[in-house]
Amino acid sequence: MDKNNERECNEDLIRERRKCNFNIEELTNIVDGGKARTARRREIQRLLINDPEFLDEIPQDYMSHEDRYSNELRKSAHLMQKLADQESGHDIHQDIGALTGILKDGNPLMVHLSMFIPAILGQANSEQQEKWLGRSLRNEIIGTYAQTELGHGTFVRGLETRATYDPTVEEFVLHTPTITATKWWPGGLGKTCNYCVVMAQLYTQGRCYGPHPFIVQLRDEETHRSLPGITLGEIGPRLGLNSNDNGFLKFENHRIPRTNMLMKHSQVLKDGTYVKPLHNKLSYGTMMLVRVGIVGACSRSLQYAVTIATRYSAVRHQSEIVPGQPEPQILDYQTQQYKVIPQIASVFALIFSARSLSKIQSSVTAKLKDGNTDLLPELHSLSSGLKALSSSDASWGVEVCRLACGGHGYLASSNLPRTYTGTTCAITYEGENTVLLLQVARYLIKSYRSIGKETGASSVSYLADQTSLASSSSSFSNKALVQAFKLSALSLVAEAEARLQKLCDMGQEFYHAWNYCSVLLLKCAEAHTRYYICEKYEQTVDSLKASEGVKNVLQSLCRLYLIYHITLTHGDFLKCGALTPRNIAVLEGEMCDLLAVLRPQAVSIVDAFDIPDELLGSTLGCWDGNVYQRLYDEALKSPLNKTDVPDAYYKYLLPLMKSSL
């Protein structure tokens, strides 16, 4: 697709693009995080897009479950080979986002890259790294990460799989004592991997020391057969991501050498003595890194969905605004703008939050190396809150985009269904959102109760600031709106704390009182995290060095985001007096104006996300806007369309139709 060739492009899109009043490439660089990263991403994408090995013979949705797995394994093996062949191949761990869209519905080798190798890097000592890291990076062994069990998810302490140390032969005995202890879910575990990091309860010298990581060979390296004492399989079809053989794993007193326990932090000595880690939470680093990655991935999913919905909304004409006039572009309807444009604003909120979190994560990790764990609770709370809100915002936003495309958004060829099914799972994995938000709430209540004591944790310092906002003004700067978010969060935390205290005063135990307030506590955690996101958004845009055009667009998007989220939860702002009913009405009016201001720029903004058609994979979202022809051409690929009359007719329909004659 030659983007400079207007002749092949839908006329509505040509007109939309001519309205652009900012430098698209500059915005692309901001999205990528700098010119160099834009160039690097494009280089990787170019390398992959032009490779015919990544094409499917027929779209995957037509294939059987087995064929889908086989087809995706073919492509993912090719991808790994290709990356390994590149001089800079190993850097790919930093550019994993550039691969989005190359594989369509899961990747059996992804957990090898995203968790197995990081676990070795983060948890194995130097001899262990020597033994396994190089082989993993060269793909000689392929691994996954097995934590979740059939009966146990986010609550890691509840895991049942056991690793019991036997000092007589210096081995651990891995065992699955019940059906609920069956490892369940790891990507690639069913059929692909031959190694695995397993989290199991460590027993030695008659005592349980809690969950620890062990590296376990699962399959013979020559035959790929599963080893004796190990039962492996695939867990069956899912809402989405059906090609990455999520698996189950059971151990029947399976023995591994003592040195297969990953011993960078804790150790078990030959005689069975347990040596605890220098610092209890040193192993948190990997988990935090994964969460930063999730926030970024959620932003990318939303970029895909909103690119599709925005372009389609410019191409699609429907109904009438003025009776008797031609059908307008549906993007001209305020209700459509209200669906699509706040999602564009949300993309940047997630990008800027992810970047802020990543910075904090790096500085905390640096301090951790010196044994300083002071800021871990702060990082834990922020990463939990952002993981939760970004996954639920993105899932909901993708679904809004899908529904904004009407019936065609339900078609697989729009790529919106797969974008949704591949995003919503982030609500559950790597810490279920409700559980994470309640951990944020715990931190908030604790911080609120220790007001006055210096914690150094900046994200909650506002809890000490009880000064109210003067709400008589009828216009608000972005900074003033952020202050309103602050007051709303603060007031919810104060309300929850008071309700908790009251229940305790009435004689309830704290734990029961906590549970009895937990719906309110969830709201606190959401309000707190939303405030953080809004503050970073405002600060990032405010301090951005950019041309006037780009700055204007981002300022409008930021303001839309602030007002949009105020109107969604305006009761909380009214209740605490941060805003008056009159303020809300004014802001609602301004939101309509912002939608009108941003509408002519919408197509150009999503163009700046710079997603190649080959990766976007959408009939509705393609760059040239030839939506209807593409929908029709895709339909013709259905195997059912190869013949006029299907075999099933003779078998089942003909007998029915002739039965009454």
How many Å apart are CA 660 and CA 645, to the nearest integer? 22
DSSP class per residue in 437-488: HHHHHHHHHHHHHTTTS----GGGGGGG--PPPP---S---HHHHHHHHHHH
Q: How far is CA 68 from CA 65, 142, 581, 618, in A?
A: 5, 20, 55, 19
For residue 251, list its beta bridge partners. 230
Closest separation in Å from C-beta 254 to its own copies: 16
By CB under 8 A, residue 138 contacts its own copies: yes
Residue 43 annotated among the catalytic residues of the structure:
no
Among 87, 454, 505, 647, binds its own copies (CB under 8 A): 647
Residue type, 650: Y
406 binds its own copies (CB under 8 A): yes
**Selection from 3, 81, 93, 5 nearest residue 47 by Cα:** 81
Residue from the set 89, 97, 151, 612 that interacts with its own copies by CB under 8 A: 151
The Cα 342–Cα 421 span in angstroms is 21
Q: Which amino acid is at 594?
A: L
Residues 318-347 that bind its own copies (CB under 8 A): 318-323, 327, 332-336, 338
User: Residue 586 interacts with its own copies (CB under 8 A)?
Assistant: no
Any known ligand binding at 569? no
Output the DSSP codes for 330-378.
Answer: GGGSHHHHHHHHHHHHHHHHHHHHHHHHHHHHHHHHHHHHTT--TTHHH
90 touching its own copies, by CB under 8 A: no
The residue from 6, 26, 399, 430 that is catalytic is: 430
In one-letter notation, the amino acid at residue 262 is: L
Q: State the Cα angle at 239 between 238 and 245, rounded to 5°.
A: 30
Beta strand 195-204 pairing with 207-217: antiparallel
Stretch that binds its own copies, among 94-102, 115-123, 154-162, 373-381 (CB under 8 A): 154-162
Q: Which of residues 587-626 bind its own copies (CB under 8 A)?
A: 588-589, 591-592, 596
| Residue 494 near its own copies by CB under 8 A | no
Candidates 152, 258, 264, 530: give the one binding its own copies (CB under 8 A): 152
For its own copies, the closer CB: 61 or 170: 61
Contacts with its own copies in 187-246 (CB under 8 A)?
190-192, 221, 223-226, 232-240, 242, 245
Min dist CB 308 to its own copies, Å, is 14
Contacts of 524 (CB under 8 A, 6+ apart): 441, 444, 445, 489, 492, 493, 496
Report the residue from 126, 155, 454, 472 that binds its own copies according to the rule CB under 8 A: 155
Give the chain's length.
Answer: 661
Burial class (CB in 10 A: 0-12, 13-18, 19+), 326: exposed
Query: What is d(CA 215, CA 115) in angstroms, rounded to the nearest whole number?
Result: 13
**Total of residues contacting its own copies (CB under 8 A):** 147
Q: Which residues contact 394 (CB under 8 A, 6 or more apart)?
A: 298, 299, 301, 302, 346, 350, 423, 426
Do the annotations mark residue 187 as ligand-binding? yes
When asked if residue 411 is in the footprint of its own copies (CB under 8 A), the reply is yes
CB of 632 to its own copies, least distance (A): 6
**Piece of 90-98, 208-216, 479-487, 629-637 that binds its own copies (CB under 8 A):** 629-637
Q: How far is the CB of 276 from its own copies (least distance, A)?
A: 21
Stretch that binds its own copies, among 9-17, 210-218, 478-486, 644-652 (CB under 8 A): 644-652
Binding mask 277-316 for its own copies (x = CB under 8 A): ---------------------------------------x
> Taking the complex as a whole, how short is the minimal distance between the CB of residue 342 and its own copies, in angstroms?
11
Residues 553-582 within binding reach of its own copies (CB under 8 A): 569-575, 581
Q: Does 133 contact its own copies by CB under 8 A?
A: no
Binding mask 67-86 for its own copies (x = CB under 8 A): x-xx--xx--xx-xx--x--
183 and 146 Cβ atoms separated by less than 8 Å: yes
- The interface mask with its own copies, positions 413-442, x = CB under 8 A, is x---x--xx--xx-xxx--x-xx--x----
Site residues for its own copies, 517-556, by CB under 8 A, read: 517-520, 522
Measured CA distances, 282 to 118, 204, 208, 376 (Å): 14, 22, 20, 10
Tell whether residue 403 is a contact of its own copies (CB under 8 A): yes
* Residues in 38-67 that interact with its own copies by CB under 8 A: 59, 61-67
Taking the complex as a whole, how short is the minimal distance between the CB of residue 43 and its own copies, in angstroms?
23
Dmax (CA) for the chain in angstroms is: 90
Joined tokens for residue 310: 């925005």
**Nearest-approach distance from CB 573 to its own copies, in angstroms:** 8
Question: Cβ closer to its own copies: 168 or 660?
Answer: 660
CB closer to its own copies, 47 vs 435? 435
Q: Give 317's DSSP letter.
A: B
182 binds its own copies (CB under 8 A): yes
SS3 of 79-102: the string is HHHHHHHCCCHHHHHHCHHHHECC
- On whether the CB atoms of residues 482 and 490 are closer than 8 A, the answer is no
| Phi then psi dihedrals of residue 642, to 5 deg | -70, -30
- State the minimum distance, in angstroms, from the CB of residue 577 to its own copies: 9
Contact region with its own copies (CB under 8 A), list: 20-28, 140-148, 360-368, 471-479 = 140-148
Closer residue to its own copies (CB): 66 or 465: 66
Closest contact distance (angstroms) between CB of 491 and its own copies is: 10
Distance in Å, CB of 62 to its own copies, minimum: 4
Collapse the DSSP code of 225 into the 3-class scheme (helix H, G, I; strand E, B; otherwise coil) and give the result: coil
Give, for 547, the enclosing helix (H) or strand (E): none
Q: Which stretch binds its own copies (CB under 8 A): 35-43, 300-308, 584-592, 603-611?
A: 584-592
> Residue 278 or residue 645: which is nearer to its own copies going by CB?
645
Q: What are phi and psi of 510, to 5 degrees?
A: -55, -40
* Alpha-carbon gap, residue 470 to 492, rounded angstroms: 18
Nearer to its own copies, 22 or 184 (CB): 184
Q: Which residues are annotated as a binding site?
A: 148, 187
**Residues annotated as catalytic (active site), given as ranges:** 430
Q: Which residues are annotated as a binding site for FAD?
A: 148, 187
